[in-house]
Structure formats: structure tokens, C-alpha cells
Amino acid sequence: MTLTPVAPLPEHEVRVRAPGKVNLSLRVGAPGADGYHPLHTIFQAVSLYEEIVATPADDLVVTVSGTQAELVPTDETNLAWRAAAVLAEHAGVSGGVHLHLEKGVPVAGGMAGGSADAAAALLACDTLWATGLSRDDLLELAGEIGSDVPFALMGHTAVGSGRGHLLTPALTRGEFHWAFALQDRGLSTPEVYGAFDAAHGHVPSGPGTPPDDEADVPLMQALRAGDPHALGEALHNDLEPAALRLDPALAEPIAVARDAGALGVVLSGSGPTVAALGRNRQHALLVAAAITAAGVADRVVTASAPVAGARVVSTTE
Ligand code: C5P
């Protein structure tokens, strides 16, 4: 008798991708008792993605591939790891998961790559474990994991308040085209906030004051009109002077992008990535080429925006 080999059951696998972001505006108030800064920010999701493949496992395991993968921790300090742990605890799931991260968003660049990992991990594990949680539940858990994680779930363009985790979708028209000047050297988000506080005479555990939330009216109008020229003029980041003090060489990609005719140039989040807005796709490529030619960035990428938030790309069962 011959035995017919039985094909192994395909492993249950969930693949999710989540976008990085640029802050079109980032307005920062004085920190309150919890040490966090009240923000008024406008996020836009850009077409640079983190992908996560989640498969069942006995324990919680994280592996990483892609650009700068060696810079990403795989222990409990990894935001995707934390997202899986928080969800398992919340939903009462006892099994583990293997999360494989394919990095497409710059690491420690101010583009929320780690937050995109957390958002992707939340959605992937939620799908794998069929927890039945609502989107609002996931958004709330996301906010516990990190200030930028809810936006990576939501995507598109949104106004963020609180720590940046309370979101309202923003009306936008059309597509915008970006060139991003990336640096291998990272900038620490807490250090940039610290330099910002020092410059503004903020004291730890002070009363906390909200940022100016009226100043972005022209930016919101530019988004509604789909007008890249007006958007370029309205880009703003309160953290930019502090980041430039910590890393003065960042003035170089900013100047080169301006010379190349970018409609606006702004530090992305707490940096060191510099975002330059092109007139159109071709012009964004031209700005990117100028930054590359000037040798003022370690890498340059282009992306379009806005794009959707974390999405399940495929599942196998
Ligand atoms: O929330 P998340 O872990 O992403 O924040 C990282 C760090 O950035 C915080 O520990 C804090 O130092 C700083 N931060 C802040 N105010 C915010 C967001 C972040 O001071 N609204």
C-alpha cells in the first residue's frame, strides 16, 4: 500500500499594511502634569507603508525585515509587540502570535513608522483572533499604545488634539506629492520636545497650556480647495526650531528643497525627516533629485497623499 502524502494545512496568516504620516501642521502647547504636550496637529497619511504578517504562535514573537531593520527592537519595547500584548490582555486572548514587520517607513524619522507597526499589529491580531472589537475600541487601545497610533489606523487627513490621539477627519480634495529627505541619524522625540520646552521656558508638571488652534484655518481651506500652493505656504511645525538647534545640518535639505521650487518645506513631526511639497508628481521627483544631487540627505523618497489607514491586505485560512 502506498501512502498518499497529505499536504500540510496552510498556516492561517493575516497581512496588514499601515501608512506613515507627515504633520502638515504641528502646534505645541506647554506640557501638563502627565508630561505630555497638548497638540493641535494636522496629520496626512502618505504612501510609504509598513506591512505586518501575523501568524499564530505559542509566544509573542517579533521579527523585522526591510530598510534599517537592524535599528528596530524585537522585544517588548517594539510598538507592534506592545500592541499585540495590549490587545491580548484586553480581549482575553491566551495564545501568542508571530508578527513579521516589513519596514517601508523611515525608522525614527518623525513619520510614525513605529506607530504604523502598532496600528497594523492591532488590526492583524484583531483579525487573527476574531476579537469582535469595534473600530472605536481599537482606536481607544491605539491611543494607549502611542500618541500617533490612532492616526495610523484612521489614515487620510485628520486633525489631532490632546496628545495627538484625538482625531477628527479633515475634508480634502485631490492628491498631494511629497519628497522626503531622510537621515540615518535619528532624533529622539523626547529630546526635541525637551529642547522646545527649554526655548519656551516651560517647566515640568506646569499647568499646561493649549496650543493655538485657530492658526490652521488657511491650511484647512487649502486642503478643502485641493490647492498645493496655498498648502505649501501654510505648512507649519512648532518643533522645527528645536530640532534645528539639536541638528543644525537639517537646514541644508530645507534650503535645497526651497531652491528646487518646493511649494513648502517642513520638518516632519519631531524629525529628522524633512518633507517638501511638490507642484505635482513630476515636480516632487525633481525636488527629490535636487536633494540627492546636493548630498544633503542619506536617502530621498517620494510619496503621494492622502492614503487610507491600516487595511487588511490578505488573509489565508
Ligand atoms: O506617545 P508617544 O509614546 O509616541 O510619545 C513619545 C514621547 O514624545 C513621549 O514620551 C513624550 O516625551 C513626547 N510627547 C510629548 N507630547 C506629545 C506626544 C509625545 O511630549 N503630545
Give pLDDT tens digits for 225-234.
999 999 999 9
Beta sheet of 299-305, edge-to-edge order: 264-267, 274-278, 176-182, 299-305
Where residue 118 falls (left for φ over 0; alpha for ψ -120 to 50; beta otherwise) is alpha
Longest dimension (CA), the chain: 84
Check pocket membership of 37 for ligand 1, CB cut-off 6 A.
Answer: yes
Fold of 13-170: Ribosomal Protein S5; domain 2 (3.30.230)
Give pLDDT tens digits for 2-47.
555 555 445 789 999 999 999 999 999 999 988 899 999 999 999 9
User: Would you say 264 and 277 are in contact if contact means Cβ atoms under 8 Å apart?
Assistant: yes
Q: What mean pLDDT do residues 121-126 have?
A: 98
Q: What mean pLDDT do residues 211-226 have?
A: 95
- pLDDT (0 to 100) of residue 8: 47
Secondary structure element (H or E) that encloses residue 73, with its range = none
Q: What percent of the chain has pLDDT over 90?
A: 88
182, β-bridge pairs:
299
Dihedral sign of CA atoms 218, 219, 223, 229 in order: positive
- pLDDT (0 to 100) of residue 40: 97
**Ligand 1 centre from 38 Cα, in Å?**
10
**Ligand 1 centre from 270 Cα, in Å?**
10
Going by pLDDT thresholds of 50, 70 and 90, the confidence category of residue 210 is: confident
- pLDDT (0 to 100) of residue 5: 53
User: Would you say 28 and 240 are in contact if contact means Cβ atoms under 8 Å apart?
Assistant: no
Q: How much helix, strand and coil, in percent to the nearest 5, is found in the chain?
A: 35, 30, 35
CATH code, 176-305: 3.30.70.890
**Ligand 1 centre from 147 Cα, in Å?**
7
Check pocket membership of 152 for ligand 1, CB cut-off 6 A.
Answer: no
Atom of ligand 1 nearest to the CA of 37: 16
What is the C-alpha separation between 214 and 90, in angstroms, rounded?
A: 37
Atom of ligand 1 nearest to the CA of 38: 21
CA dihedral 229, 232, 234, 236 (to 10 degrees): 180
HEC secondary structure over 157-194: EEEEECCCCEEEECCCCCCEEEEEEECCCCCCHHHHHH
By most ligand atoms within 8 Å of CB, the mutation choice from 23, 27, 36 for ligand 1 is: 36
- pLDDT (0 to 100) of residue 11: 72
Mapped onto helix, strand or coil, the DSSP state of residue 290 is helix
Give pLDDT tens digits for 267-288.
999 999 999 999 999 999 999 9
Query: Which residues, 6+ apart, have CB-to-CB distance to 144 below 8 Å?
Result: 86
Give pLDDT tens digits for 94-103.
989 999 999 9
Computed over every residue of the chain, the mean pLDDT equals 94
User: Would you say 38 and 29 are in contact if contact means Cβ atoms under 8 Å apart?
Assistant: yes
By most ligand atoms within 8 Å of CB, the mutation choice from 25, 34, 37 for ligand 1 is: 37
Q: Packing angle between helix 79-91 and helix 135-145, nearest 10 degrees?
A: 130
Ramachandran angles phi, psi of 142, nearest 5°:
-60, -40
Check pocket membership of 82 for ligand 1, CB cut-off 6 A.
Answer: no
Domain boundaries, the chain: 13-170, 176-305
Check pocket membership of 189 for ligand 1, CB cut-off 6 A.
Answer: yes
Q: Would you say residue 80 has pLDDT above 90?
A: yes
Mapped onto helix, strand or coil, the DSSP state of residue 99 is strand
Q: What percent of the chain has pLDDT over 70?
A: 97
Q: Would you say residue 55 has pLDDT above 50?
A: yes
Residue type, 29: G
Grid coordinates in use for 210?
493649549
- pLDDT (0 to 100) of residue 18: 98
Q: How many CB atoms lie within 10 A of CB 77?
A: 10
**Ligand 1 centre from 173 Cα, in Å?**
30
- Taking alpha carbons only, the member of 246, 260, 116, 102 closest to residue 183 is 246
- pLDDT (0 to 100) of residue 10: 53
In 201-294, where does DSSP find H-type helix?
Answer: 217-225, 228-234, 240-246, 251-259, 281-294
Residue 110 CA to chain centroid, in angstroms? 7
Give pLDDT tens digits for 293-307.
999 999 999 999 999
